[in-house]
Amino acid sequence: MKEPKRLFDAVAYQLAKFPKNDMLVAKVNGSWKPYSTSEVADVAHRFSAGLLQLGVTGGDYTEEGSDKIAIISNNRPEWVFTDLAVQQIGAILVPLYPTTNPNEIEFILNDASVKFIFVSSKELFDKINALRPNLPKLQNIYSFDELEGVDHWSKITELANDGLLQKVGQLKNEVPESHTATFIYTSGTTGTPKGVMLTHRNIISNVFLSKQSFPFEDAPHFKVLSFLPLNHIFEKTVTYIYLFSGISIYYAESMDTIGDNLREVKPDGFTTVPRVLEKVFERIMTTGNQLTGIKRKLFFWAVKLGEKYDNNISGGAWYNLQLAIANKLIFSKWRAALGNNVSFIVTGGAACQEKLLRIFNAGKIPVYEGYGPTENSPVICVNRKAPGGTKFGTVGPPIDGIEVKLAEDGEIIVRGPSVMKGYYKKPELTAETVIDGWLHTGDIGVWDEGKYLKITDRKKELFKTSGGKYVAPQPIENKFKESPYVEQVLVVGPERKFVGALIIPSFNALKNWMRQEGVGFTTNEAAIKDPRVIAMYQQLVDDFNASFNHVEQIKKFELLPQEWSIETGEMTPKLSLKRKVVMEKYKDAIEKIYA
């Protein structure tokens, strides 16, 4: 077949090279239901035809002339069907996080003039339906679940007829690779959502450059588990890497069932964000803390060995022998919990603790950290499977086929075919962000050994103390999160005389410590006021401060009783901290630090 140039070419590509019985698989009524490549092709084709019957059009293949179709859903085959069906007729997909708040949903649907929206559940239908009076352009809401009084998405495929199917075939050939495939709205950590316009060429170039660089060989026998939200460009691009590689995609039922689904599917790999890996590690450590006697000693001995692991420098014969024993006795159980088959985990979206990378890789659970913003479709760098392709603490070398350099102030800038077309209806912001073809990422970095990129901070998150000294909070926060007693941390201090921190303890670990110290635990609120607990955290802060310059050291801190989350508003849907929100919400605690 011809070289693929549009994302939806993935289906024809797979049909020609490695047709599968299980291209997309999801659980329905307790059993895994597969869709073959030919079934996906047929469903997408009929879905496109039905959309044409509803008057959906690609118009003149401009952003204003093409109809916009939104989706707000959990990961499932219908998500991909919708994406393919919309693309094939030149319309533009506008995906939203299921956790997006109503005000942002209303803004996005109006900003993009969305014509139809697809939802997965009653809860999401109600969320959108409540906004209908404020959404003049929205014509209908369709549901993937069967809901009483709501149009099911299959009503659209039933509209297909021979004439419309023939029209779809014709339109598929006409959609230019330069046409915008999707608007990905990013709210980041502050501000109004911005619609990042990504073309077929943007995403497909990133798919093939990543596929070549990582590398993802064609692997029709491979299976992956998908659970990161598909509306995020990381999971969407990776989905098309899988489709163009012949890899079967199984969808986790929910974030709560990932553990069970891993054991059932036994995947070869998956993508994740550091917060999920941290949660997995915390559960493992909680299990370890419940062990007694020799089993407990062996468990923590293995973890300590893992912390010293370096993939590029041999620990010597004695270390390697010990690690082999630890793998047989301890880490083998960790691998079994992931299905015993994982050959790759790719993490992105935020900085991953170096300690976790060392321990998981020591335990033969290969975790590769990568990096890239939505505006680059997204991958800029990734650590590799090849010898010398990975260095812990960095995001790896740039992928082949793009240029990466550091501006004078250390900002990472990138040029290549994956750089976005621009922000929808925001030409001034686009001009500030893409200058002479170079995308200015807003991230600060350094080169390690001249080839590995290390992210040191966000340009906008650097702050100056009242003494005029610059402080980068992220490296300090990442260091503190290495402690088993720290769940989350936010470094504060802009225009203040010293640096402080808000710390949320890891309460499972803290309970164990209190029990061992003979301190009674009643509630989180009581624990963080206990003088012995405060003294323990003071010692922890003092120990970590030794790693930093005087100006970067935490002089005072406040312990908080509740974890920050998406639901309570302090985390973005991709589990990044909203600094401004936290600083506003906890301003009383911050004032106590500086009182």
How many Cβ atoms sit within 10 Å of the Cβ of residue 59? 14
Residues in contact with 223: Cβ distance below 8 Å, sequence separation at least 6, in sequence order: 22, 247, 248, 249, 250, 265, 266, 267, 268
One domain, residues 44 and 121: yes
Domain-located, residue 584: yes
The pLDDT value recorded for residue 32 is: 98
One domain, residues 35 and 76: yes
Task: Give 107: exposed, middle or buried? Use CB within 10 Å, 0-12, 13-18, 19+.
Answer: middle
Q: Would you say residue 233 has pLDDT above 90?
A: yes
Three-class SS state of 469: coil
Alpha carbons 47 and 566: distance in angstroms, whole number: 33
The CATH number of the domain holding residue 490 is 3.30.300.30
- Which sign does the torsion angle of CA 349, 353, 358, 361 carry? negative
Residues in contact with 539: Cβ distance below 8 Å, sequence separation at least 6, in sequence order: none
Domain-located, residue 296: no
In DSSP notation, 155-210 reads HHHTT--HHHHHHHHHHHHH--TTSEEEEEEE-TTSSS-EEEEEEHHHHHHHHHHH
Nearest to 241 by CA among 225, 262, 218: 218
Alpha carbons 422 and 237: distance in angstroms, whole number: 18
Output the six-digit token pair for 584.
């506003």
With a pLDDT cut of 90, the percent of the chain lying above it is 85
Instruction: Report the number of distinct structural domains present in the chain.
Output: 3
The pLDDT value recorded for residue 192 is: 80
In DSSP notation, 316-342 reads -HHHHHHHHHHIIIIIHHHHHHTTS--
Q: Which domain holds residue 429?
A: 274-291+341-458
Average pLDDT over residues 272-294: 91
Average pLDDT over residues 515-519: 93
Residues in contact with 129: Cβ distance below 8 Å, sequence separation at least 6, in sequence order: 141
Residue located via tokens 């990932």:
258
Domain-located, residue 17: yes
One domain, residues 428 and 475: no
Residues in contact with 133: Cβ distance below 8 Å, sequence separation at least 6, in sequence order: none
| Model confidence pLDDT, tens digit, residues 76-88 | 999 999 999 999 9
How many Cβ atoms sit within 10 Å of the Cβ of residue 384? 17
One domain, residues 448 and 518: no
Alpha carbons 575 and 277: distance in angstroms, whole number: 12
Alpha carbons 565 and 553: distance in angstroms, whole number: 26
Within a 13 Å sphere around the CA of 102, how many CA atoms are in the beta-carbon half? Answer: 13
Q: Tell which of 437, 458, 479 closes a domain.
A: 458
Residue ranges of the alpha helices (H) in 393-502? 427-433, 473-480
Residue located via tokens 């509209």:
159
The pLDDT value recorded for residue 561 is: 97
Domain-located, residue 305: no
Q: Would you say residue 550 has pLDDT above 90?
A: no
The pLDDT value recorded for residue 1 is: 65
Three-class SS state of 225: strand
Least trusted range by pLDDT, from 11-15, 97-101, 533-537: 97-101
**Mean pLDDT taken over the chain:** 94
**Cα separation values, 255 from 30, 330, 433, 533, Å:** 16, 26, 34, 32
Q: Would you say residue 47 has pLDDT above 70?
A: yes
The pLDDT value recorded for residue 189 is: 45
Q: Would you say residue 96 has pLDDT above 50?
A: yes
The CATH number of the domain holding residue 366 is 3.40.50.12780
Average pLDDT over residues 93-117: 94
| Model confidence pLDDT, tens digit, residues 399-421 | 999 999 999 989 999 999 999 99
One domain, residues 227 and 281: no
Domain-located, residue 451: yes
One domain, residues 171 and 43: yes
Task: Give 3: exposed, middle or buried? Use CB within 10 Å, 0-12, 13-18, 19+.
Answer: exposed
433 and 375 Cβ atoms separated by less than 8 Å: yes
Domain-located, residue 184: no
Nearest to 95 by CA among 3, 186, 205, 192: 186
Least trusted range by pLDDT, from 51-60, 186-195, 370-379: 186-195
The terminus-to-terminus CA distance of the chain in angstroms comes to 70
One domain, residues 135 and 161: yes
Q: Tell which of 458, 479, 508 closes a domain.
A: 458
One domain, residues 238 and 278: no
Q: Tell which of 425, 458, 491 closes a domain.
A: 458
Instruction: Return the H-helix or E-strand segment holding 443.
Output: strand 438-448
Alpha carbons 53 and 474: distance in angstroms, whole number: 51
One domain, residues 370 and 425: yes
Domain-located, residue 234: yes
Least trusted range by pLDDT, from 53-57, 344-348, 461-465: 461-465
| Model confidence pLDDT, tens digit, residues 163-215 | 999 999 999 999 999 999 999 998 654 468 899 999 999 999 999 999 999 98
One domain, residues 220 and 133: yes
Average pLDDT over residues 67-81: 98
One domain, residues 355 and 486: no
The pLDDT value recorded for residue 329 is: 97
Q: Would you say residue 120 has pLDDT above 90?
A: yes
Alpha carbons 264 and 225: distance in angstroms, whole number: 10
Residues in contact with 43: Cβ distance below 8 Å, sequence separation at least 6, in sequence order: 35, 81, 157
Average pLDDT over residues 372-385: 96
The reply to whether omega before 229 is within 30° of 0 (cis) is no
The pLDDT value recorded for residue 475 is: 86
Alpha carbons 363 and 378: distance in angstroms, whole number: 29
Alpha carbons 446 and 457: distance in angstroms, whole number: 10
One domain, residues 353 and 378: yes
Average pLDDT over residues 379-386: 94
Three-class SS state of 261: helix
The pLDDT value recorded for residue 181 is: 98
Output the six-digit token pair for 40.
């996906």
Q: Considering the entire predicted model, what is its pTM?
A: 0.86
Within a 13 Å sphere around the CA of 2, how many CA atoms are in the beta-carbon half? Answer: 5
Output the six-digit token pair for 330.
């301890």
Least trusted range by pLDDT, from 41-50, 173-182, 297-306, 462-471: 462-471
- Per the model's pLDDT, the better-predicted residue between 471 and 241 turns out to be 241
How many Cβ atoms sit within 10 Å of the Cβ of residue 285? 18
Domain-located, residue 332: no
